[in-house]
Amino acid sequence: MQQLDPAEAEIRTWCTGYLAETLRLPREEIDPNAKFARLGLDSAMAIFFLTAIEEWLGLELSAEIVFEHQTVADVARYLARLPEVATKLEQRAT
Amino acid sequence: MNANGRPAEASLNSLVDLLHRRAAEQPEDRAYVFLSDRGAEEASLTFAELDRRARAVAARLAAPGKAGERALLVFPPGLEFIVGFFGCLIAGIIAVPMMAPRRGGSRDGSAAIISDSRPRFALTSPALLAARPDVIERYRELGMEWVVVDPADDAAPPPVVLAAPGRDDVAFLQYTSGSTSAPKGVVVTHGNLLANLEMICVSLGNTRRSTYANWVPLFHDLGLIANVLQSLYLGTLCVMMSPVAFLQRPLAWLRAISHYRVDASGGPNFAFDLCVARFKPEQLEGVDLSCWHMAFSAAEPVRAETMQRFAATFAPYGFDPKALYVGYGLAEATLIVTAGRRGQGPVTRTVSRDALLHGKALPPLAPADTQVAVSCGRAGAGGRVAIVEPRTCRRLGPNIVGEVWVAGPHVAQGYWHNPAATDATFRARIADEGDAPWLRTGDLGFLDEDGELYITGRIKDVIIIRGMNHYPQDIEDTVQNSHPALRRNCGAAFIIGEEGGGEQLIVVQEVERTFRNKVADEDFVGTIREAVADEHEIAVHKVVLIRPGAIPKTTSGKVQRNLTRQLWLEGTLEVLE
């Protein structure tokens, strides 16, 4: 299996945890490659998901992110490449 | 002009008259401001600018023989919708507001709306054109003429002389009724709009100082009529923000109310819950809500607990609990039917839960037998409300539950090109009361001795989620189309109330015998969730798969949704693992 970059892996783990809690599903049932719609997320819930990511990271993000990137894997990959996200995660680690 | 500085409704013939009058009397006043996602002013329109730009759009639409043609309005949030809408009205083209189809969604209600209304034009903005080329691609074969409303284009309109519309002319079609497979476009005339705008104005006690703020989408009648058109009627400013911005940062709505000293603003019940759920004192520094006199809750059932929580949370910011305001309405009556009174606060009544189940509003017999009902106010000026036994069509007395019927100048003309449904809904007669036509709302409720209306339920099965109506048969169809193993006419969709006020959609569905052993392998649950989210924009909370023949049906073979719901709540449905 391909190794994920640590920031991407951390975001993935957080997102799967959030979705498992929100959707009341066991964590292992949240497939990072499943489209949000398939997991049972409508667009309002997708926006609430983004708001939760914002609060976790302490950053303001555009709601478009969860419409343009429709899986946990895609969102994590996109966010991990934003410089401000990388900085936040590093600060948190130290 | 009357004392409030607004035009006497009787002196206007159309919304076009209204717009021209605003542009002539207060050309430089700002009519609309659109806020960016960060709360900065992104665009604005004065009354004169709106009038000029709408006339320019009208000149592009109008030509001999085109009056009465339809134009689809597909706009992202912004002020272009308003320019396009008035462009249509000035040109005598019937506006058909529609939600932009969801990205990647394969099927939704838009195809049926287009095939029902047969629009010649489709109006949109440069932003949608750039961001969503798939929308135009999707409808390419329908041959609609796309007209782009450019917000930057402020050229003087060509001098085209257009016939002024009259009160009986159709202004727009409101597609919020009927299932997605067979949508019904409510035919709203200029006269209906003017009557309802006057009703809203009088009921809310609005004046020239009633600044508005709105985030409700404009394809929704609450956003368009109660906010954008009402503020034009008053000649006041309406501050707008996008629905997504509201969902993402609900407190930005409250900050806008404080900053612009807004008098009237509202939304469906869930909006008030969302503000409480996201309450953060650090985001409300300096916010003063004492200007907010009309916090109206409409478009979905109002919960007393929601109002109490909201009032308690925001009282420290100057919010007056008496500002909470409840109304009742439906697209078939243009918008509002009943409304409360300014400054009074919600009227509630404690009734016997048991008696209410039997159709009567009586005082509770025991402390455990109480239910708090929230009044939706009284019939608006010029309108009438009756409670009628839905089978015998006899009028019922006070405190007896029956169907809510409505009459008045705000009742729309009927459903677009659908005489059978129009007759059944718009031309009802009360037994022994002559030939006067009444509108059947399909809602159940009672009137008290003072004429206050309390809504208690619905005759039709309608699922209301975040202020949008959904029909269970549409959701069941979607489910059954999503996989061949899912048996047709053998499923039920319904909602259950959750603690804390949310409503959850449950889908119960039979699986064909031949697929029974594959339930574990095939991801039926994921397939169903994806199909329902794509086509209806709602999340299925729980998918319950059952064996063939397990869904309760009537002797005539109709699925019994309520009984299915009850069995599910009791845990007696036999679920396939």
Asked if B530 and A37 come within 8 Å (Cβ–Cβ), the reply is yes
With beta carbons under 8 A apart, name residues in chain B contacting A45. 539
Nearest CB to A39 within list B249, B529, B541: B529
pLDDT at B427: 96
Helix and strand numbers, DSSP H then E, in chain B: 18, 26
- Cα B323 from chain centroid (whole Å): 21
Q: What sign for the dihedral angle of Cα B213, B215, B216, B217?
A: positive
With beta carbons under 8 A apart, name residues in chain A contacting B278. 51
Closest CA to B454 of B321, B338, B354: B338
pLDDT at B104: 64
Contacts of residue B423, defined as CB under 8 A and 6 or more positions apart, other chains included, come to none
B288 in reach of chain A (CB within 8 A):
no
pLDDT at B1: 44
Closest CA to B252 of B264, B240, B263: B240
Asked if A39 and B526 come within 8 Å (Cβ–Cβ), the reply is yes
CA–CA dist B530, B513 (Å, integer): 23
B108 in reach of chain A (CB within 8 A):
no
pLDDT at B232: 98
Reported for A19-22, long-range contacts at CB under 8 A and 24+ positions apart, including other chains, are A19/A49, A19/A72, A22/A48, A22/A49
Chain B nearest-CA residue for A45: B539
pLDDT at B559: 86
Helix (H, G, I), strand (E, B) or coil at B33: strand
Are B388 and B396 a contacting pair, CB within 8 Å? yes
Structure tokens at A6: 């640590």
CA–CA dist B179, B188 (Å, integer): 19
Asked if A40 and B534 come within 8 Å (Cβ–Cβ), the reply is no
Chain A nearest-CA residue for B243: A44
With beta carbons under 8 A apart, name residues in chain A contacting B530. 35, 37-38
Interstrand relation of B264-267 and B378-379 (parallel, antiparallel or unpaired): unpaired
Asked if A38 and B530 come within 8 Å (Cβ–Cβ), the reply is yes
CA–CA dist A14, B187 (Å, integer): 49
CA–CA dist A78, A56 (Å, integer): 16
Q: What phi and psi values does residue B403 have, to the nearest 5 degrees?
A: -80, 145
CA–CA dist B368, B282 (Å, integer): 40
- Cα B1 from chain centroid (whole Å): 31
B342 in reach of chain A (CB within 8 A):
no
Q: What ipTM does this complex have?
A: 0.85
Are B491 and B476 a contacting pair, CB within 8 Å? yes
Asked if A40 and B37 come within 8 Å (Cβ–Cβ), the reply is no
CA count, 13 A, side-chain hemisphere, B317: 25
Asked if B244 and A47 come within 8 Å (Cβ–Cβ), the reply is yes
Structure tokens at B540: 């299925």
Q: What is the largest CA-CA distance in chain B?
A: 74
CA–CA dist B64, B61 (Å, integer): 10
* pLDDT tens-digit series, residues A66-82: 989 999 999 999 999 99
Are B164 and B384 a contacting pair, CB within 8 Å? no
**What are the average pLDDT values for consecutive 10-residue runs of chain B, which has 577 residues?**
54 95 97 94 96 95 87 95 97 94 69 92 92 85 90 82 92 83 91 97 94 96 96 98 95 97 95 94 96 92 87 97 94 96 92 90 90 92 95 96 97 96 96 95 94 88 80 89 89 80 85 81 87 86 90 83 89 83
Interstrand relation of B70-73 and B121-124 (parallel, antiparallel or unpaired): parallel
Helix, strand, coil shares of chain A as percentages rounded to 5? 70, 0, 30
Strand partners, B388: B395, B403
Closest CA to B149 of B238, B22, B64, B60: B60
With beta carbons under 8 A apart, name residues in chain A contacting B538. 42
- Going by pLDDT thresholds of 50, 70 and 90, the confidence category of residue A93 is confident
Helix (H, G, I), strand (E, B) or coil at B300: coil
Task: Give the per-residue SS3 of B139-207.
Answer: CHHHCCEEEECCCCCCCCCCCCCCCCCCCCCEEEEEEEEECCCCEEEEEEEHHHHHHHHHHHHHHHCCC
pLDDT at B119: 96
| pTM for the predicted model, two decimal places | 0.88
Contacts of residue B426, defined as CB under 8 A and 6 or more positions apart, other chains included, come to B332, B411, B412, B413, B414, B415, B437, B439, B440
CA A73 to chain B, closest CA, distance in angstroms equals 17
Phi-psi region of B307 (alpha: psi -120 to 50; beta: other; left: phi over 0): alpha
CA A40 to chain B, closest CA, distance in angstroms equals 5
Chain B nearest-CA residue for A62: B37
Helix (H, G, I), strand (E, B) or coil at B360: strand
CA count, 13 A, side-chain hemisphere, B335: 27
pLDDT at B7: 53
Are B253 and B39 a contacting pair, CB within 8 Å? no
pLDDT at B276: 95
Structure tokens at B321: 């609990």
Q: Write the CA distances from B560 to B508, B525, B535, B572, integer angstroms.
A: 11, 22, 24, 15
Are B553 and B504 a contacting pair, CB within 8 Å? no
B220 in reach of chain A (CB within 8 A):
no
Query: For chains A and B, what is the number of CB pairs under 8 angstroms?
Result: 48
B-proximal residues of A, 55-94, CB under 8 Å = 60, 62-63, 67, 70
Contacts of residue B127, defined as CB under 8 A and 6 or more positions apart, other chains included, come to B76, B78, B80
CA count, 13 A, side-chain hemisphere, B241: 29
